[in-house]
Amino acid sequence: SDLFGGRSLGIFAKNKLFVASVLLRLKHTSNLSYLHNIGKYPLVNRTIGQELGRVASEYGDRDAFVAVQENKKITYDQLRVQADRLAAGFLSLGLQKGDRVGLWAPNVLSWPIVFFAAARAGLIFVALNPAYEVPEMTYCLQKVGVKALVTSKSFRNKLYYDDLLKILPGLQTTTPGQSSSETIPSLTHVIVDSEENYSGVLRLNDVMSLVSGEQINEIDISQCIINPDSGCNIQFTSGTTGNPKAALLNHFSIINNGIHIGENLEFHSKKICMQVPFFHVYGIVITMLASLSHHATIVIPSTTYNPEKSLRAIEQEKCNIINGTPTMHVDLVNLVKKKKKQRELKLNLQADITIISGGSLCPPQLLRDMKSELGGGGVVKVKNVYGLTEDSAVSFNTLPTDGEDKILETVGHMQDHIEAKVTDTEGNIVPFGVPGELCVRGYFTMLGYWEDETKTNEVLGKDRWLKTGDQFILHPDGYGQVVGRLKDMIIRGGENIFPKEIENVLVTCPQIAEAYVVGVPDERLGEELCAFIKLRDNIETMSLEDIQGFCRGKLSYFKIPRYMQIVKEFPKTTSGKVQKFKLQEQFRNKKDT
């Protein structure tokens, strides 16, 4: 295969001693928690555009994306052709290498076309959350100096053009391509993916029709002069407080991360039901680029997450991989259970299904439920992925040979070609098995936060070690466990407590759908524990005594919540992260009343 470069592997294969040494993948010389996974396969020096060209040449007739709700599909060859046409259109508007192109859209088929067009044109693609409101959108466009913005017509019950008029006053009286705003002076082109005409903006199809065959051919020829080390994607981190930071990733990092993710998760020629949003690294790298390198087909069930539509797409398109977060998988399992109970559902799923879970560990009960409810009579595999935006998506993941114990107890094994260490508050490496902050280093670390040297230096040292902010345990065999977020640590009477440990126990309770724990003020102990609980649909109530009784024998006495509140929904960021500071505010407000 040319995936890793056929010539390179041929040379390696001739040298059996070299291959044997490569297979001895983990290097450590002491009991301190530092490991270097030197990997089985070499990294590739390739851009996103070159990778699309390679796959389109070899697997051009294979479906790349199937958009079920839109009733559209596109092959890899068609994807390359349309991406090149749009890339030439971008350049004809006057955009130049390194300019930022933003996309504000839900999961629609035009999303990957715009993404690959930007990559093939040498532009920097800015992924924007489709749920952003006007202030959030304005901030992001200003922060990175977006020059061209592509939007869908609408998202849920919102017309994007209405918001554009608030972001760019006077747009209606502007000639398309000559947008001028004191607020966002960089933004000159607004492009809407719609058949309707809107004043002051271009239509996406019109941009694609601006170009000649010669201009399109130039895009293919120019792929060899785009540097794999150059920035290609800006991801806005969804912080739970303050403005998001703009992480700049390069071609080399996300292409290689996608390749190794696809290998470990066994994406080869599979059909993947994509429940996560495109704009996140889970969508771009873990799903889209991992699928590209392994010529898999991505099935888009709907423009926004909907478990009913996901289930329908899984069955209709015969998906054998389902990706998502544990919450999404809980929704899917509960839907199947409900429909079976009501005798509304006759599932016709593939015999063998793999479920990819990211965002948090898969609780034991959920693992059992997925295996019993989502299998088509064959094998149901569950695989974890762990990482963050700043390391191009994944640093640890489940391996093909991992058993249930590894899936339930760890976030997986170190990725190839990376270093990992766990340090204390002074930066000293702690022994294996001792919690500390996980730091990673390798090809996959971000270039930095866009025009924010101070924030970059807080997490990325001159030695290129990236601080993850996660309390982590590293084991000598290369597997790891997340204990919790350092900033979430609660100090109760001098005891350091990580909410994640308690939350992992609570979600094993059959009556609980979701649970989050926060620290709340206590005069005697400094902080106490409050558990916020969302009950399963068929459960009416639980008492604090019920919760405490369930935790006894599973947690030390000082980790058992003192308080509890039942909620219907959790306050979350637009990318789905729970805002724990709002839970703390909710506790204080309720206590005051």
Question: CA 548 → CA 13, 509, 558, 567, 583, distances in Å?
Answer: 58, 11, 11, 17, 20
CB 273 within 8 A of CB 319: yes
Indicate whether 54 belongs to any domain.
Answer: no
Q: Which residue spans within 129-279 are E strands per DSSP?
A: 146-152, 154-155, 158-159, 189-193, 202-203, 231-236, 246-250, 271-274
pLDDT at 17: 35
Q: Does 202 have pLDDT greater than 70?
A: yes
Helix axes 48-59, 110-120, angle to 10 degrees: 120
pLDDT at 241: 52
Q: Does 286 have pLDDT greater than 80?
A: yes
Indicate whether 67 belongs to any domain.
Answer: no
Taking the complete model, does pTM exceed 0.75, yes or no? yes
Indicate whether 316 belongs to any domain.
Answer: yes
Of 182 and 118, the one with more pLDDT: 118
The percent of residues in the chain predicted with pLDDT above 90, rounded, is: 70
pLDDT band at residue 2 using 50, 70 and 90 as cut-offs = low
pLDDT at 346: 66
Q: Does 22 have pLDDT greater than 80?
A: no
What's the whole-number mean pLDDT along residues 334-338?
Answer: 86
- Do 14 and 139 share a domain, yes or no? no
What's the whole-number mean pLDDT along residues 472-483?
Answer: 95
Last residue of a domain, one of 226, 241, 261: 226
Question: CA 113 → CA 81, 258, 288, 484, 570, distances in Å?
Answer: 9, 18, 12, 37, 34
**Which range, of 30-44, 79-93, 171-185, averages the lowest pLDDT?**
171-185
- Do 328 and 457 share a domain, yes or no? yes
C-alpha–C-alpha distance, residues 517 and 519, integer Å? 7
- Do 418 and 528 share a domain, yes or no? no
- Do 442 and 570 share a domain, yes or no? no
C-alpha–C-alpha distance, residues 446 and 246, integer Å? 10
What's the whole-number mean pLDDT along residues 321-332?
Answer: 89
pLDDT at 27: 53
What's the whole-number mean pLDDT along residues 494-513?
Answer: 88
Of 116 and 241, the one with more pLDDT: 116
pLDDT band at residue 9 using 50, 70 and 90 as cut-offs = very low
CB 481 within 8 A of CB 473: yes
Q: Phi then psi for 575, rounded to 5 degrees?
A: -100, 5
Indicate whether 180 belongs to any domain.
Answer: yes
- Do 402 and 507 share a domain, yes or no? no
pLDDT tens for 31-57 read 999 999 999 889 999 999 999 999 999
- Do 549 and 417 share a domain, yes or no? no
- Do 505 and 576 share a domain, yes or no? yes
Indicate whether 52 belongs to any domain.
Answer: no
Task: State both tokens at 357.
Answer: 């879970």
Q: Does 369 have pLDDT greater than 90?
A: no
The percent of residues in the chain predicted with pLDDT above 70, rounded, is: 92
449: CATH? 3.40.50.12780
Q: Does 24 have pLDDT greater than 50?
A: no
What's the whole-number mean pLDDT along residues 198-227?
Answer: 96
- Do 445 and 467 share a domain, yes or no? yes
Query: What's the whole-number average pLDDT of the chain?
Result: 90
- Do 549 and 573 share a domain, yes or no? yes
- Do 340 and 467 share a domain, yes or no? yes
Indicate whether 232 belongs to any domain.
Answer: no
- Do 188 and 309 share a domain, yes or no? no
pLDDT at 592: 60
Q: In the chain, what is the straight-line distance between the N-terminal and C-terminal CA atoms, in Å? A: 66
What's the whole-number mean pLDDT along residues 497-512?
Answer: 90
pLDDT at 360: 67
**Which range, of 25-29, 216-220, 354-358, averages the lowest pLDDT?**
25-29
Indicate whether 198 belongs to any domain.
Answer: yes
Task: State both tokens at 133.
Answer: 């409101």
What's the whole-number mean pLDDT along residues 312-317?
Answer: 94
Q: Does 520 have pLDDT greater than 70?
A: yes
pLDDT band at residue 7 using 50, 70 and 90 as cut-offs = very low
Give 561-572 as a DSSP string: -SEEEE-SS--B
What's the whole-number mean pLDDT along residues 384-401?
Answer: 95
Indicate whether 64 belongs to any domain.
Answer: no
Q: Does 8 have pLDDT greater than 50?
A: no
Helix H segments across 145-274? 160-167, 204-208, 213-221, 251-264
Of 301, 227, 287, 237, give the one whose Cα is nearest residue 258: 287
What is the residue range of 530's domain? 489-592
pLDDT at 20: 34
**Which range, of 28-42, 71-85, 296-310, averages the lowest pLDDT?**
28-42
C-alpha–C-alpha distance, residues 249 and 258, integer Å? 13
Other C-beta atoms closer than 10 Å to the C-beta of 426 total: 5
Other C-beta atoms closer than 10 Å to the C-beta of 229 total: 13
pLDDT band at residue 238 using 50, 70 and 90 as cut-offs = low
pLDDT at 11: 33
Last residue of a domain, one of 439, 466, 484: 484
Give 345-379 as a DSSP string: ------SSEEEEEESS---HHHHHHHHHHS-SSS-
Q: Does 564 have pLDDT greater than 70?
A: yes
Q: How many domains does the chain have?
A: 3
